Structure 1
Amino acid sequence: MIEAILWDNDGLLVDSEALFFDLTRKAFERAGYLLDSMYWGVEYLGNAKHSSEIARELGMPSELAGRVIEERNEAFLQCLENPVPLLPDVFQTIGGLSGRVRLGLVTGSPRDKVERMHRDNGLLGYFEVIITDDDIAFPKPHPEPYLKALERLGLEPGKCLAVEDSRRGLASAHAAGIPCVVVPNYLTRIQNFDQAYAVEGRVSGVLKHYDALSLKESDL
């Protein structure tokens, strides 16, 4: 029986990935370099390359890249002073699952940024466990973030379901032994999700998989 659902954050619950890409694209453009959304979706969000690696691959000198990325980071922090929109169906889906199954958040963002993103929407109160970049040594696609969540929940991988938006997150959950439903966004939709338990167009699609898995277990 599925006892917990573990959720990614950026690009799945909140529309922060689109915001972050747009700020990066504009910062690169001001420096004279064009950044394509498909390239970003594959290399940064899928293959876990750092912004500095992508800048170098585009031919940007290291010193300039450092300034451009710092400028982007400052702009992103400023944007977090305003609410980051939740993606469609998120609040209804999380609220509908609350009380039926344990919920956890497993994100590569630092805790302070996560708290700023959600400070006005009340969503964090639904999560029993929150794993952030501050809690781990090895980020996704390494399994440590999910293994840490399992440890804190006291559960085996087969008792959990993960939900991610990218191949990087999927690889992390898969390596931890947790089946994963992927809900791609417009930046990650071109990635390969061959290891996914299922791929859904909206977050609400997770509900039918949780219900089906729960019903399957109850019939055993």
Structure 2
Amino acid sequence: MVFDLDGVIIDTEEVWEEVRRGYVAERGRRFLPDSQGRMMGMSTPEWSTHLSADLGVPRTPREVAADVLDRMAARYREDLPLIPGSVEAVRRIAGHFPVALASSSARILIDQVLETAGLTDTFRVTLSTEEVPRGKPAPDVYLAAVERLGLTPEVCAAVEDSSNGLRSAAAAGLAVIAVPHGVYPPAEDALALASLVIDGLDELTVEAVGKLR
């Protein structure tokens, strides 16, 4: 089983939007109508390039990434927005299946979240899209996670919330479990890729996972 992080274990999409919108506005620029949706699932180099090149923030992508990640880390230190039942769900599934994490967050944020949540030793593999050639919706991070688990996509499932995440997992050949975010729901075509749609992580049971394949 491979878990996404943002929107599945921690409810941070609103935090990401607030931080990035504020950062862009401080530099006299404005989000495009589709900026937030486009950046969901993007790797750090990809979204920082969007802010720099597409929105015109007068900083290099590397500088933009450093600025925004510093702000996000500070927010996480103040209050980690764990999704109710997420830690329990991860531990429940990890008791029966090997689990990995495939996230678009930067490595520094992944490590901080898992340490604060007490999940560092639960995952056998953790990967950031920074560490693979392409971010979501490309399948790279899921393919790498499955390979490091020593498994094949055909026997694995992914838990995702965003359009790009669902597309990424499906493109990698995993069975897809969708937990749609209430504020940022996935596109209908992406949601259609899911083998199972659940309303919350309390529905992510060993029995439900076992029936997927």
Q: TM-score range by the shorter chain?
A: 0.7 to 0.9
Contact 1:129 1:153 in 2 (8 A): yes
User: In the alignment, which residue of structure 2 is the partner of 1:197?
Assistant: 195
Deviation string, structure 1 residues 98-117 (Cα, Å, up to 9, x no partner): 32111111112232221112
Match of 1:12 among 8, 11, 14: 8
User: In the alignment, which residue of structure 2 is the partner of 1:50?
Assistant: 47
Cα distance in 2 between the residues matched to 1:188 and 1:132: 21
Instruction: Map residues 65-214 of structure 1 onto 2, 5 A cutoff.
Output: 71-192=67-188, 193-207=191-205, 210-212=206-208, 214=210
Cα distance in 2 between the residues matched to 1:114 and 1:145: 14
Instruction: Point out the more displaced range, 163-172 or 102-111.
Output: 102-111
Change (3 A) 1:46 1:194: farther
Task: Provide the aligned length of Structure 1 versus Structure 2.
Answer: 208
Cα distance in 1 between the residues matched to 2:209 and 2:67: 46
| 3-state SS, counterpart of residue 177 of structure 2 | strand
Contact 1:11 1:17 in 2 (8 A): yes
Structure showing greater relative contact order (alpha-carbon pairs closer than 8 Å, 6 or more residues apart): 1
Change (3 A) 1:13 1:213: closer
Identical columns (%): 25
Change (3 A) 1:135 1:75: closer
Cα distance in 1 between the residues matched to 2:187 and 2:48: 18
Contact 1:6 1:162 in 2 (8 A): yes
Cα distance in 1 between the residues matched to 2:133 and 2:35: 24
* Structure 1 residue ranges without an equivalent (≥5): none
| 3-state SS, counterpart of residue 158 of structure 2 | strand
Change (3 A) 1:202 1:215: closer
Cα distance in 2 between the residues matched to 1:186 and 1:212: 22
Q: Residue type matched to 1:198 in 2?
A: L
Cα distance in 2 between the residues matched to 1:132 and 1:55: 21
* Structure 2 residue ranges without an equivalent (≥5): none
Larger Rg: 1
Cα RMSD over matched residues? 2.9
Q: Residue type matched to 2:103 in 1?
A: T
| 3-state SS, counterpart of residue 162 of structure 1 | strand
* Structure 1 length-normalised TM: 0.78
